[in-house]
Amino acid sequence: MILACVLSSAAGFVDAVGFIHLGGYFVSFMSGNSTRGGTALAEGNWTGFATAFGLVAAFLFGVVSAAILRRLVPSRKRMAVLLYVSASLATAVVLFDLGVAGWLAPALMAVAMGAENVIFERDGEVSIGLTYMTGTLVKMGQHIANALTGGDKTLWRRYALLWLSLTVGSIIGGVAYLALDLNALWVAVAVLVGGVLFNDWIRRNPPRPPARRVIL
């Protein structure tokens, strides 16, 4: 859960940077881009339409490529995807600093955010969505309802923590962009590399099951 919250905060950070940089388009929230693309088409704004659905295509490419990567590296699939996400963001910053094809940096950011959602996968399905919170808020609401009607009192907290992580990350990302422009993404890269190291440490030091009590 700790890694999920860290990665969700990084996603919020990156999406805030992308949102400000692109003037209102998202690099991780594809429902918003789909709506913006649809309204842009209705208004005859072809540039807005291409921007929105180009980001959707890049995000989808990130999901597909990361899912394939997981299958190619079955022994260290989570670490492989984390490195892929980190490399995509780092490349986006380098291209931006070099002034190479201004549209490439946001596209790579969307690729990274799509790939990040594949980090937690179970039986071929995403088990924890890291860059979008609609489903998380629905689950939180359901578990709050369960808690209020006699069910488990604590399950809603994990979903609240995920949402809070993304929200705090987006606040920090917005402030960082105003100070550093797209170079703020180096902060997210550092966080993701930290996630790689943490994941490797967890692999090497798995939690021990609680000791059994022997009753004489």
pLDDT at residue 169 in the model? 93
pLDDT at residue 216 in the model? 42
pLDDT at residue 208 in the model? 65
What is the residue-level pLDDT of the chain in tens, covering all 216 positions? 778 888 889 999 999 999 999 999 999 889 889 999 999 999 999 999 999 999 999 999 999 999 999 889 877 788 889 999 999 999 999 998 888 767 899 999 999 999 998 888 776 666 677 777 888 889 899 989 999 998 888 888 888 998 999 999 999 999 999 999 999 999 999 988 887 787 666 666 666 665 555 444
- Whether 116 maps to a domain, the answer reads yes
- Whether 64 maps to a domain, the answer reads yes
Structural domain tally of the chain?
1
3-state secondary structure the chain: CHHHHHHHHHHHHHHHHHHHHCCCCCCCCHHHHHHHHHHHHHCCCHHHHHHHHHHHHHHHHHHHHHHHHHHHCHHHHHHHHHHHHHHHHHHHHHHHHHCCCCCHHHHHHHHHHHHHCCCCEECCEECCCCCCCHHHHHHHHHHHHHHHCCCCCCCHHHHHHHHHHHHHHHHHHHHHHHHHHHHHHHHHHHHHHHHHHHHHHHHHCCCCCCCCCCCC
- Whether 211 maps to a domain, the answer reads no
Count CB-CB contacts under 10 A for residue 83. 17
- Whether 216 maps to a domain, the answer reads no
Q: Residue 20 is part of which domain span?
A: 2-204
Whole-prediction pTM? 0.86
